[in-house]
């Protein structure tokens, strides 16, 4: 499972990432979530600046807090929040026990991935919250991949 998650993440590389890209990505995620009737919060950040945020019907302020905690994991480790948590579980422990980080600030649950720019590295995060963690992760990975393919086609 860890290898699969690593390969997914390696396939999500942007050629560039600016305010306009963040906006288009955020809108893409919102439109996909609406089409599927998903109650999610969508967040796109560059560094610590939130460039896009939307809360769809069925979400609550708790989802905003989850996005922040999952984004903190991605910021710290440079990897998808689900990958970080899964790696700990694969070692027979939990993220909370192995990292010793404050669980009120960090959550290694699925749904946030790094925004990686080719030749630069991680520059931000993109994520969702509102579904079970594996579904949050699958949705964001699938939609970021679809967005990148559409952008490449022009």
DSSP string, 104-134: TT----SSEEEEEETTTEEEEEEEEESS-HH
Q: What is the pLDDT of residue 6?
A: 87
Global confidence as pTM: 0.95
- The tokens for 104 are 């009120």
d(CA 117, CA 16): 6
Count of structural domains within the chain? 1
Q: What is the pLDDT of residue 8?
A: 85
Q: Is the pLDDT of residue 39 over 90?
A: yes
Q: What are phi and psi of 127, to 5 degrees?
A: -165, 170
The mean pLDDT of 117-142, rounded to a whole number, is 97
28 is in which domain, residue-wise? 2-153
**For position 96, which CATH number holds?**
3.30.450.150
Average pLDDT, the chain: 96
Give the C-alpha distances (Å, rounded to integers) separating 151 from 9, 15, 24, 144: 18, 10, 10, 10
């Amino acid at each position: 499972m860890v290898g699969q998650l690593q390969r997914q993440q390696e396939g999500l590389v942007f050629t560039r990432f600016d305010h306009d890209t963040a906006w288009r990505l955020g809108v893409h995620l919102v439109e996909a979530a609406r089409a599927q009737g998903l109650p999610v919060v969508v967040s796109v950040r560059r560094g610590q600046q939130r460039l896009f945020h939307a809360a769809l019907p069925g979400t609550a302020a708790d989802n905003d807090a989850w996005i922040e905690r999952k984004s903190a994991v991605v910021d710290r480790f440079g990897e998808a929040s689900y990958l970080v948590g899964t790696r700990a579980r694969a070692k027979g422990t939990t993220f909370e026990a192995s990292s010793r980080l404050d669980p009120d600030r960090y959550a290694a649950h699925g749904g946030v991935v790094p925004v990686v720019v080719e030749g630069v590295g991680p520059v931000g995060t993109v994520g969702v919250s509102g579904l079970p963690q594996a579904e949050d992760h699958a949705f964001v990975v699938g939609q970021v991949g679809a967005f990148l393919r559409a952008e490449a086609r022009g």
